[in-house]
Structure formats: C-alpha cells, structure tokens
A and B are shown apart, each in its own frame.
Chain A
Amino acid sequence: MAESSSKQKKLDENTSIMNIDRISSLPDSVLCHILSFLTAKTCVATSLLSRRWRHVWENIQVLEFREDFHDCYEDDDDFEQFKQFSVLVNGVLTLRRSRDIRKFVLSCRHTHEDMFYANSVATWVRVAIGPRLEELELSLFSSDGEAFVMPYNLFTCTNLVSLSLCGGIHVKLHSSTKINLPSLKILQLDIDSVDCIDTLLSGCSTLESLDICFAPKCLSTIRMPHSLKSLKIGVENNDIGTHFEIVSPGLEYLSINQITAFGPITVCNFPEVTQVFLDVFSLEESVNALLNLLLAISATNTLELRRSTTKEPSPLQIWVEPTSAPQCIVSVLDVFYIRGFQGYGDEVEFVAYLLRKGLVLTRIHVICSDVFTDERTKYRILKRLSFVPRASTKCKLIFE
C-alpha cells in the first residue's frame, strides 16, 4: 500500500508537482514550529485537518490569544464576546498536553466592574508566569480606568527574555521589591502606571532593548542599564525633575519622544550610536541638555529633531553656538531631518548652523509642520538658507 502510493507520487511528480502533501510527513517538532507562529484559535482548528494533525496542537508551548473586539458597541454583545473568548482561552489552557509555556501573548479587554473579566485575566496571567516563560506580551484595554496589577512573581522569572506590557496595567513596585530578571533582553512598557522604574531596571542586568513611555512619580535618579543597545524613551510630565542617567557605552540606537519636560540628564559618550531621534522641542531651559546630547553622540550620521508641540519656547531658541562645534555635526553627520518645522528664527538659525559646520553633510530635510502654511515666509526662509555658506559642497537642502 505504502509502496504503491510512493510510486504513484513519483509518477505524479512531473505532471503535478504541486499536489503533494509535503507537510504531514514532517516531524511534530516542525509542525509545532508553524503552530508557534499562529494564534491559539488557528492552532486548535488544525486538529480538523486530518488524523495526523488531530493532537499536534496540544503540544504547543507558544500561546497567543487576541480578542477581536473593535467593532462591538452594545454592552451585552460585548460581554457575550468576551465570554466566548474566555471559553477559547480556558479550553486551550486545559487541553494542552505540554505544561510548559515558553511564550504567552494576551490581548483583550479588562474591567473591574465585572469580576468575570478581572478574575479571568488574573488567572490566565498566573498560568503563564512560570520558570519556563521566555516571552510575555500583555495588552489590556481597561474600560473603567482601573488597571490590572501585575503579579509580583513575574519579576523573578529568571528565564524571561522579552517582556512587553501595554495598556491598563499597573506595575506596582516598592524600592524593596525583589527584582531578578537576569535573562531579560527586551523590555517594552507603555502602561497606565509604573512605580519605581529604577528598581525594576536595577534588576535587569543584561537588558539590551528598552522602549518605555511613562510619567515619573518620585524625585529620583533613573539609571538606564549599562548593557543597553537600543533606547526609546518617552517621558510625560516630568515636572518633578527626575534625573536620567544614560550611561550605556554600547548603545546603538537612541530615540527620545513625546517629552513635555525632560529633566536633568547625564549621558556618556555613545561611540556606537549611528541613528538618533530627538523630540526635544518642548524642552525648557535645557539647551545644555541638547548640547550635551549632541556632544555625546559622536558617531551619529543620521539625526532627526522633531517638534511635536507648537508650544514655545523651544530649546533652539536659546541655542548659543558652542565655542567648538560637536564632533558629530562637524565630521560625522550625513543626514539631518527637522520635522514639525514652523519657521521660527531659532529653527532657521539651527539649520544655518549645521550648513555652516557640517563638513560631510549630504542632505538636510526641512519638513514643515501642518500649521506652518505661510508660503511667503517659507520662500523667505529658503532664500535666507540658500545664502548660507555650506561647509559641505555636496549638501542638499530639501524643503518639504
């Protein structure tokens, strides 16, 4: 039987090479690789493909649950939908054979108004947290504004490599909370609230990528891990003036965003950083912070400054030409972008400064803000900048 079918296959090979089931003969481990990139719902559905597939999904160690709820408005429908979603999650968690979860992704709604939501989510997260967990991605959409409090034992998952928390989640820490995340390489936090971020970071000794957006709550120094290679940071309302210390000599990528006030900042030299994005236009009285940053990024060839608010003053307004120009501007900077350009004198002067100093510049892109529509002023600025003597003859000025 087997022989004749293999002969048949050979005969078919020339005529209909496409009609071979190449997959089902592969080992379970390979099939599980495919399943590990699917949501749990699709994984369960593969049990219906054939007998070969019937129980394969039960061995998955990567569980991804995403509630699809964007086009539901009625409260009753909403609840009905969440109920169905929870039957799916509970079904998968109960029927799986492998007790280990390596990766867990959960994206759903959450509310404290109905304990069914709160208890379900809390139980699922507890199931996921364990010594084998390598990746956790949690996005919760809370309708009542009350956040889900992350269980403490997450912060002692020694095998956790990647952690992403987003939405209605509260990371409640005390300065004495034990944090031990020795394997953590990637941390992404965009959540309602986080206390003692410095305590959290101090327990991540090998962190390489940090993407964080938060509002500092206490006056302290936040030290970025020494091991960082990529840092994307957004700070909201740093009215209390939290001090940031970015002393990570291996840093390769730096992005500072959405800052309404960025306090004092300590940086080291970043010899590896080639790309920098700075949204620093709402810095107040912090021209030194900008200059310090420009001095630190000595190897940066692509720099982007963005003005996300129309609020003044900008740090460029009190920009005083330093006695010696930062090295990155003089001899490394290749491309410079200035976004949200509104035609203020300080912006123009800064661009002119770069034109005069940048020996290896090839492009400057000036991208105007939507609110800047005065064509005559634009023309005048362009004319003014075109008269500035350029240090680099190759430098093009692109005005958009």
Chain B
Amino acid sequence: MAAEKSSIKIITLIAADGSVFEVEPNIVKEMKTVQSYIDELDQNTVSIPLPNVFGNDLAMIIEYCKKHASEEETKEAKEEFDFEFVKRMKSDDKLRLLQAASYLNMESFLQFMAKAIAAEIENQSVEFVRDYFQIESDFTPEEEAELRKENEWAFK
C-alpha cells in the first residue's frame, strides 16, 4: 500500500486548534479517516484538517503511531511504551483519546484505549462508572429501581 502512494512524501495534519504536524505516510496508515482522504487526492503534498482532534491529543496519537510503526523497536519495547503511555494519562485523557481514535477510525489504537478504560471500570459500581464517564442518568428513580430489580442477578 505504501508503495502505491510513494509519490507522497509528507502529510500535514492540522488539529482543531490550528497546530500543524508533519508526518510520513506510514505514520497515518492506521488512521483510516486520514487514509481515505489521501487516497482520494493525487498530489505530492497533502494537508488534512482534523477539526475534531486537539493538538495535544494528536501529538500523543502520533507518538504512539511512530513507536508502533517503527521496525527497529522490539515487541518488548513497544509493550513497555504502551504501559508507560497509559500510566501517564488521566481518565479524561483516555476518554478524549478514545473519542479521537473513533473519529480517526484507528482500529488498534481504539482497542488500546478501550482496554485502558475498561481496566478502570471493571467490577465497579454503576455510580462509579457514571461518575467516571460523566454520564447523567436519564432514568427516573422508579425506572432505575425497576431495572435494578430486573437485572438483580448481575448485581450480586
């Protein structure tokens, strides 16, 4: 795939806040949203606006993609990187990056974030998860009580 599009040397990504990132084509291979944009065009330089992703988040995503696209890095080094990558993130970072991954249509990065988020809510109460995701319940107290009773077997 990379060989087909060898004419393109550099791809410019423009984040929502206007910050600009110049990356090599192999870095954006996983971003299907970006890739379909590139495939439609036939020119040497491409500049792509990403109005739904902020610069800080895009920087992190590119850092991840660079590490994982590298052929020199060992599997262990990549795993170590992933571990540290998640460790330095706050909950809101993870949720924002999941959102970005969904928008950019990045399968493996989406999986990675989903896993990191799941680890934080596994075995937690409904109240905890609501708070974590900032979800406001739109059930009436009666509805919620009824649902809770209906699925009682899952709350033991």
Contact = CB atoms under 8 A, between A and B. Distances in A.
A21 B133 contact: yes
A37 B115 contact: yes
Closest 7 A/B residue pairs (Cβ): A37-B118, A44-B154, A33-B114, A22-B95, A87-B153, A34-B114, A21-B134
Interface of A: 17-24, 26-27, 30, 33-39, 41-42, 44-54, 84, 87-88, 91-92
B148 A48 contact: yes
Given A37-B118, A37-B119, A48-B144, A24 B135 contact: yes
B92 A18 contact: yes
A30 B102 contact: yes
B121 interface: yes
Given A38-B122, A44-B154, A88-B153, A33 B111 contact: yes
Nearest to A66: B123
Interface stretch (B23-31, B42-50, B58-66, B124-132): B124-132
A30 B121 CA distance: 16
B135 to A, nearest CB: 5
B110 to A, nearest CB: 6
B153 to A, nearest CB: 5
Contacts of B114: 30, 33-34, 36-37
Given A22-B98, A23-B95, A30-B98, A51 B138 contact: yes
A387 B114 CA distance: 57
B139 A84 contact: no
Contact of B153 (A26, A34, A50, A91): A91
Contacts of B111: 33
Q: Residue among B95, B129, B153 with the most chain A CB within 10 A?
A: B153
Contacts of A33: 110-111, 114
A53 B121 CA distance: 15
Contacts of A54: 147
B90 to A, nearest CB: 9
B95, B114, B117, B130 interface centre (most CB from chain A within 10 Å): B114
A243 B60 CA distance: 52
Contacts of B102: 26-27, 30
A45 to B, nearest CB: 6
Contacts of A30: 98, 102, 110, 114
13 contacts: A21-B135, A22-B95, A26-B99, A33-B110, A33-B111, A37-B122, A42-B124, A44-B151, A46-B126, A48-B147, A49-B126, A52-B135, A84-B153
Given A17-B92, A48-B151, A23 B123 contact: no
Contacts of A21: 133-136
A91 B152 CA distance: 10
A51 B130 CA distance: 12
Contacts of B119: 37
B121 to A, nearest CB: 7
B57 to A, nearest CB: 12
B32 to A, nearest CB: 13
Contacts of B118: 34-38
Contacts of A48: 126, 137, 139, 144, 147-148, 151
B119 to A, nearest CB: 7
